[in-house]
Amino acid sequence: MVDRGLVFTDCEFKSADAELRPVWILEVRDKTGKYQYSKRLLWIDKEFYYVQMTEMYDKKGNLWRAWWDDVRYWSPRTGIGLWRGVTIWDPINRHLTFIQMDVDFEESRTGTKAQYFDIETLRTYK
């Protein structure tokens, strides 16, 4: 997808190596009518099993958000991938958000406990 209305300044790519990835495209539809999205399309990498891109549609079927998260660091030692960045596009408000994260593979292995992710902890988190 390209929005011709977007303008990039001080940024020019002379060349870039790119590779087409084999993907499954999964369509997920809300059967209840209560969810904010009527459907989501997910592009899932067939070799790495992660979602490269997601499109989310409003209840009228219009594209509401697109989420690209194919910016990851891969640990050369373990092959584990951690997010480096994510781009979220809002075509309705013509807004683009880019989130960038620093990755420290050793730090990611410490300090996280299973109890941080149990339902009660998530419910009462302050």
Q: The domain that contains 84 carries what CATH number?
A: 2.50.20.10
Confirm whether 43 is domain-assigned: yes
Which domain covers residue 110, as residue numbers?
23-124
How many domains does the chain contain in total? 1
47 in a structural domain: yes
Q: Please report whether residue 7 resides in a domain.
A: no
Does 105 have pLDDT greater than 80? Answer: no
User: Average of pLDDT values for 12-33?
Assistant: 84
Give residue 11's pLDDT band: very low, low, confident or very high (50, 70, 90). Answer: low
Confidence of residue 22 (pLDDT cuts 50, 70, 90): very high
Q: Could you tell me if residue 56 is inside a domain?
A: yes
Considering the chain, what is the average pLDDT of its residues? 80
Burial label, 55 (beta-carbon count in 10 A; 0-12, 13-18, 19+): buried
pLDDT of residue 4 exceeding 80 = no
Taking only Cα atoms into account, the Rg of the chain, rounded to an integer number of angstroms, comes to: 18
User: Which strands sit side by side in the sheet containing 23-29, from one edge to the other?
Assistant: 23-29, 39-45, 51-57, 63-74, 81-90, 95-100
Specify if 27 maps to a domain.
Answer: yes
pLDDT of residue 2: 46
Q: Identify whether 18 is part of a domain.
A: no
Q: In the prediction, which pLDDT does 100 show? A: 82
Q: Which is more confident, 63 or 20?
A: 63
Residue 56 reports pLDDT greater than 80: yes
| Three-state secondary structure readout of the chain | CCCCCCCCCCCCCCCCCCCCCCEEEEEEECCCCCCCCCEEEEEEECCCCCEEEEEEECCCCCEEEEEEEEEEEECCCCCCEEEEEEEEEECCCCEEEEEECCCCHHHHCCCCCHHHHCHHHHHHCC
pLDDT at residue 76, rounded to an integer? 75
In this structure, is residue 4 part of a structural domain? Answer: no
- The pLDDT tens digits for 26-55 are 999 999 988 889 999 999 999 888 888 999
